[in-house]
Every structure is written in C-alpha cells, then in structure tokens.
Amino acid sequence: MNRKNLLTALTQILPGVDKKKTVESLSYFYLSRQHIISYNNKISIRFPLQTDFSAFIKANDLFNLVSKASADEVLMKKDGDKVKIKIGKVQGTLATIEDEEFTVRLQNVSESLEGVKWMKLPDTFEECVLLCAFAASKSESEGTLTCVRISGVDATATDNSRIAHAKMSSEMKPLFLKASEVKSLLGINPTHYAGSKAWLHFKNEDGCVFSIRKVKGEFPDCLPMFDFEGTEVTIPKEVLEGVDIASIFIDDSTPSISINISANKCVVTVESEAGNIKHSSDINYKGKEINFKINPDFFNEMMKHSTTLIVSDDKAKLSTENFSLVVCLYQS
C-alpha cells in the first residue's frame, strides 16, 4: 500500500487510541481486512483499508514506523502472532494480540452503521460547533452541560456561567455532541452525519467514520438569556493585541483569560503554572467595573465580526449575525 495514504489513515484514526492505556487493547489499531480501526470506549474511528489479514497492532509503534520512514510503498504480512512490515530499506516485525471481547465491541459499532441514513452537515457546522464548545463545562459530573446541544439550526453550550449560541446555515436532527471530542472530530473534516441506537456517526470524503457514544438527557432553555438591554462598550484594537499575547499561556489547564474593564481602562490578564501576563489598554468607558473570563480564540473570532460588548448589571454579551456569547459577571 502507499505509505502516504496509510499515514493519512493512521493520522485520522489516532484520536481514538486510549493514550492512558487503561486497557491494553484500547492502545491498539485493529486491522479488520476492510478497515483500520481505533476504539477507546468513548469514540471509535475507522478508515477504509484493504488487507488480507486481521490483527491488533500497537498503535504508536505502527504510527511512528510509518511516519518516520520515507519510502513510497509499505508491505505488510501476518506471520503467526507477528506482522512483518517492509518500507523501503526498513524491515520490522510488530507483535499482535488477541482480544475477543474487544473484537465483539468493534463488531457492535460496525453493525450500528448498517443501514444508517447519512445526512449532510451544515456548511457552517465546524465553526459553529467549535465556537460553542468553548462554553461547555469541563466537569464530567455536569452531564449534558459538557456537550454542545444541536437542534434545528441552533447550536448551544453552557457551563452555567457562560452561554454560547450559534445559528448554523441549515438544520440538523437534535443531538448532544461532547465538547471534549469536538477538535478530534473536526480534524477529519466531516461532511455527513447519522445516528444509530447508541452512537452518533460522522464521515468525511475519504470514507473515514468517526463514531461517538450518544449522550442523553435534558438541556436548559438558554436562548431567553440573550434577550436583555445594557450599556454598549466598544473594544479597541489594542485590547486584541493583549488577548493575543496572553493566549501564549492558554492550555487545557488554563483555558481562559481574564478581562477587567473599569473607568477608561481595559486590562487583560492570564495566570498559569507556566507564568503570567498583564496587558493594559485605554478605553472609552465610564461605567461600573466589569470582570469576566473568556477563551481567547472565541474572543478573537467574535471580534472579527463585532467590537461591541453589551453590559448589564449581571451579564455581558458579544453578538454577531450568527454567533452570541453571554457571560455572567462578577464584581471585584
């Protein structure tokens, strides 16, 4: 097989590998003769790949070998409990394992794909879901608040202190999409989606299918929270410079920057284990002091469309034609 094509397949299914290695099989790729598959109990990703054998191969070993080699063609052959691999001048042997329970789980996912009705995703699905995902809760105990709720053209997420809402370009069936899986899902550039009893399925033009376990439950009616009046504050470009600089310390443990707006002053700060940054800008504002936290990527994206912040006594709103974010305010 072509090495670059194989590397494309491995790259797209890699997010489905359990990096914590809680169960040995979950850190393996499965070659099923028709596909190469990853699975970690929460998601399963499969890419079309024809082989004349089936086997579990350690994911990182295969990925590293294929990505570091430079030859065009890859030859693989199963020999007992080993898979022999040849890439140009490189020859190697990869150990395989057997796991009947894991094989049954993968078969269940395969069966859930049989006969599903694929529907086209909205053209703005990726940007809408990505922006909303910033506002979802990071705590797994929060249930559906860890998800982006999609219903019709509306995509919504909240962690009870922030609410993000986006209007997509076309309607979708109601579903919950785990915010923690959004970046991995969007990495395959999905074009269509489908649902089965226990799974949500997304596929791209390469035939890669990204399957996520369904989340069920209730979700609060957040849209009325966007309807309020307040004072308009115009954010100058200098503030965006501060946001951009502060974002160098943004990671999974520090996902937000802090913004303080007081009389004629806007201060952007971030504090993390790696360090801290403070950036001050002059601003035309004489109202009460405002404090809120926001993901810098979200803030920058919103500012591309609008530089106006609407502030009331207890919340602030950024709005554009298709995106809105409400944040609850706290006082210093």
Please state which of the four CATH numbers 3.40.50.80, 3.10.150.10, 2.70.98.20, 3.30.56.10 is assigned to the domain occupying 228-328.
3.10.150.10
CA–CA–CA angle 127, 133, 135 (5° rounding): 125
How far is it, in rounded angstroms, from Cα 102 to Cα 257?
42
Sequential pLDDT tens for the chain (332 residues): 999 999 999 999 999 998 776 677 789 999 999 999 999 989 999 999 999 999 999 999 999 999 999 999 999 999 999 999 999 999 999 999 998 988 999 999 999 999 999 999 999 999 999 989 988 998 989 999 999 999 999 999 999 888 999 999 999 999 999 999 999 999 999 999 999 999 999 999 999 999 999 999 999 999 898 888 888 888 888 898 888 898 888 887 788 889 999 999 999 999 888 889 999 999 988 888 888 888 787 787 777 777 888 888 788 888 888 888 888 765 44
Could you tell me if 157 and 327 are in contact, meaning their C-beta atoms sit under 8 angstroms apart? no
Q: What is the domain partition of the chain in residue ranges?
A: 3-112, 119-224, 228-328
What confidence score (pLDDT) does residue 332 get? 44
Does CATH place domain 3-112 in 3.10.150.10? yes
What confidence score (pLDDT) does residue 94 get? 95
Cα atoms in the Cβ-side hemisphere of radius 13 Å centred on 62: 33
Sign of the four-CA dihedral 169, 171, 176, 181: negative
How far is it, in rounded angstroms, from Cα 228 to Cα 85?
63
Could you tell me if 260 and 126 are in contact, meaning their C-beta atoms sit under 8 angstroms apart? no
Both tokens of 216, joined, read: 């069920």
What HEC string does the chain produce? CEHHHHHHHHHHHHHHCCCCCCCHHHHEEEECCCEEEEECCCEEEEEECCCCCCEEEEHHHHHHHHHHCCCCECEEEEECCEEEEEECCEEEEEEEECCHHHHHHHHHHHHHCCCCCCEECCCCHHHHHHHHHCCCCCCHHHHHHHEEEEEEEEEEEECCCEEEEEEEEEEEEEEEEEHHHHHHHHCCCCCEEEECCCEEEEECCCCCEEEEECCCCCCCCCHHHHCCCCEEEECCHHHHHHHHHHHHHCCCCCCCEEEEEECCEEEEEEEECCEEEEEEEECCCCCCCEEEEECHHHHHHHHCCCCEEEECCCEEEEECCCEEEEEECCCC
| Amino acid of residue 198 | A
Exposure string over 56-80, b if 16+ CB within 10 A, otherwise e? bbbbebbbebbeebeeeebebebee
Both tokens of 251, joined, read: 């990671």
| Identical fold between 3-112 and 228-328 | yes
How far is it, in rounded angstroms, from Cα 180 to Cα 87?
35
Residue range 119-224 forms a domain whose CATH class is: alpha beta
How far is it, in rounded angstroms, from Cα 60 to Cα 94?
11
**Bridge partners (DSSP) listed for residue 287:** none
Q: Is the model's pTM score more than 0.95?
A: no
How far is it, in rounded angstroms, from Cα 108 to Cα 316?
46
